[in-house]
Structure 1
Amino acid sequence: MNVFVTGASGWVGSVVVKELLDAGHQVAGLVRSEDGATKLAAMGGRVVRGTLDDLPTLTRAAEAADAVIHTAFNHDFSKFAQNAQQDRRAIRALANGLRGTGRRLIVTSGAVLVRPGQLATEDMPQEDLSHPRRSEVEARAVEELGVRVSAVRLAPTVHGFGDQGFIPILIDTARRTGVSAYVGDGSNRWPAVHRLDAGRLYRLILEAGDTQFAYHGVAEEGIALKEIAEIIGRRLGLPVQSRGAEHFGWFAPIAAGDFPTSNARTREALQWMPSQPGLLADLDSPAYFRTLTTPAERAGI
């Protein structure tokens, strides 16, 4: 297949691109920077220069593709609501390019949005509609255009060397405050997935005839925050202590959140068997605690 991938040089998107190319697919990828273009071309993908605001570019690229995988999202939390709107416009533009074809559009969502505090399963709709990111809501809406849509609900922790997500935020907070903290008794759970396992999942969805809407990019159902904090504390030589949610500032809702997530239906539908190291094993290594300086290191390559 000829597949258009947004975020093609990103943390997850670059792994998706490699998975697709290794499986014999052709890939065109949306990239913003020269570094991203160089990285994508070196992998063997065709470069489409632009951003998620270049809606005509997104539509044209989708029109030329057999399928679209949308992994891009601007994670600048200082303007998250604006970025969520940008994401919805991009999904609509991509769907317009696939209009009436029955071709596949795979969007990216988050497991934390489903049903906080309860075990989330693939048949549950997104429950937290107070959250500005509503990728699934837009994905459901564009189905009426004659597009076959699925959503990958990624774990809040997509880990691996070069990780710039939630785990590094905990590490940076520990370094800044002098304590590796958790909230309450630390039993609240974060699901996790290794980026290589996540990349393979997108490919399996693309290649499957299965029509399920939501798939869970989750390898581990839920890891207690206290266990994560203990490894960070040991690695940094800091005390591990309970703190109020306010200790984490703007990150408090995630740090205090309980997001257990099942992947049973995803595994069964796709025969997806995560094989990479789990989060705690991955985290308990020097690589997570060194400063990444080069673009390649920050991209995880």
Structure 2
Amino acid sequence: MRVLVTGVSGAIGSAVARSLLRRGHTVVGTVSAGSRSQAPDGVEVLPVDLFEAGALAEAARSADAAVHAASSNDERAGELDHIVVDDLIEAFEGTGKPLVYTSGLWLHGNAGAAPSTEESPFDPPMVVAWRPAVEDRLLAAASRGVRTVRIRAGLVYGGGRGYVPMLLAPQDGEGGKAVRHFGDGSNRWALVHADDLGDLYALAVEKAPAGSVYLGVAGEPVRVRDAAGVVAGRYGVQVQGWDPEDARQYWSVMVDAFLLDQAASSAKARAELGWAPSRPGLLEELAAA
């Protein structure tokens, strides 16, 4: 298949592209116009302004499938999602082509007594409060001849990319350098290695049914203070809690998302798509970095 991947130079988009290429697909990947970001080898690069409505129309019409993995990673992220999703739905309507959307586990808020599943209620923090409306749009499009698939990924790590290296990098703190975590660090992150997640997307493109949704998490959740401890041990520095109110001066509404206590099950993706994540867990990767 010829697959259009938005955000192909990002942590998720690049992993999706690599997995698709390994499986014999052709990948056309978008990058921001004028960007110096690198796409994986073998990708046909398409410079485009994704905020421009209709900018993907021609590329979408010539594609057999699409994966939306781009994000502006700022206050315009919701606007970007609405524009891109609407463009792709319009281009794919009535064709049966797959459209895989990058949602996130943050939608489910804190886990309860049992791990979250695809059916767990939504309780999103403010930073992704707009995302349920996009998911509703995709679900409705499944009845109009678009094979929409939503993937709610856990916190993505791997290859030194994503939020984890930024959050756990040693900083100047009280008494010298320290690895800081928000609050007391007792909350858990549900995680997935980017390359495992890329494989899940490729499987979804190939065989997920219309209107489906999958949680993309692998392994057991990791307590945040344990991850901070591994990094601190590597650098020979201390671990410190960071008052969330103070942290909001730097991380704004993201703090509430990183304070979520999350655990989730990927049983559905494993059973229906044959997904078998195999990359190193976060603590193993942090220790080896």
Which TM bucket (shorter chain)?
0.7 to 0.9
Q: How does 1:98-117 map to 2 (within 5 A)?
A: 98-117=92-111
Contact 2:106 2:128 in 1 (8 A): no
SS across alignment from 2:265: coil
1:108 shift after superposition: 0.2
Contact 1:139 1:150 in 2 (8 A): no
1:131 shift after superposition: 4.2
1:211 and 1:97 mapped to 2: Cα distance?
16
Q: Which residue of 2 aligns with 1:227?
A: 226
1:203 and 1:48 mapped to 2: Cα distance?
20
The two structures, once aligned, show a CA RMSD in angstroms of: 2.2
1:149-198 CA-to-partner distances (Å, cap 9, x unmatched) read: 11111112x112231x22123223x4132333345553211011111111
SS across alignment from 1:57: coil
1:85-129 CA-to-partner distances (Å, cap 9, x unmatched) read: 122111111111111222211000111111323232012354327
SS across alignment from 2:221: strand
Q: Which residue of 2 aligns with 1:261?
A: 264
Q: What code does the residue aligned with 2:26 have? A: Q
SS across alignment from 1:68: strand
2:180 and 2:240 mapped to 1: Cα distance?
5
Q: What code does the residue aligned with 1:272 have? A: W
TM-score computed with the length of structure 1 as normaliser: 0.83
1:271 shift after superposition: 1.4
Query: 1:166 aligned to 2:163?
Result: yes
1:191 and 1:131 mapped to 2: Cα distance?
17
SS across alignment from 1:151: strand
1:226 and 1:53 mapped to 2: Cα distance?
38
Q: How does 1:1-301 map to 2 (within 5 A)?
A: 1-32=1-32, 33=34, 35-36=36-37, 39-40=39-40, 43-76=41-74, 80=75, 82-118=76-112, 119-124=115-120, 126-128=122-124, 130-142=126-138, 143-144=140-141, 145-156=144-155, 158-163=156-161, 165-172=162-169, 174-177=170-173, 178-183=177-182, 185-211=184-210, 213-249=212-248, 250=251, 251-285=254-288, 287=289
1:215 and 1:253 mapped to 2: Cα distance?
23
2:60 and 2:132 mapped to 1: Cα distance?
19
SS across alignment from 1:179: strand
Structure with greater helix share of residues: 1
**Number of aligned residues:** 276
SS across alignment from 2:270: helix
1:88 and 1:268 mapped to 2: Cα distance?
31
Contact 1:52 1:87 in 2 (8 A): no
1:50 and 1:93 mapped to 2: Cα distance?
13
TM-score computed with the length of structure 2 as normaliser: 0.86
- Pick closer, same or farther for the CA change 1:66–1:110 going to 2, 3 Å: same
After alignment, is 4-13 or 235-244 more displaced?
235-244
1:122 and 1:221 mapped to 2: Cα distance?
17
Contact 2:109 2:260 in 1 (8 A): no
- Pick closer, same or farther for the CA change 1:181–1:45 going to 2, 3 Å: closer
- Pick closer, same or farther for the CA change 1:184–1:5 going to 2, 3 Å: closer
Structure 2 unpaired stretches of 5+: none
- Pick closer, same or farther for the CA change 1:135–1:106 going to 2, 3 Å: farther
Percent identical pairs in the alignment equals: 34
Contact 1:210 1:269 in 2 (8 A): no
Structure 1 unpaired stretches of 5+: 288-301
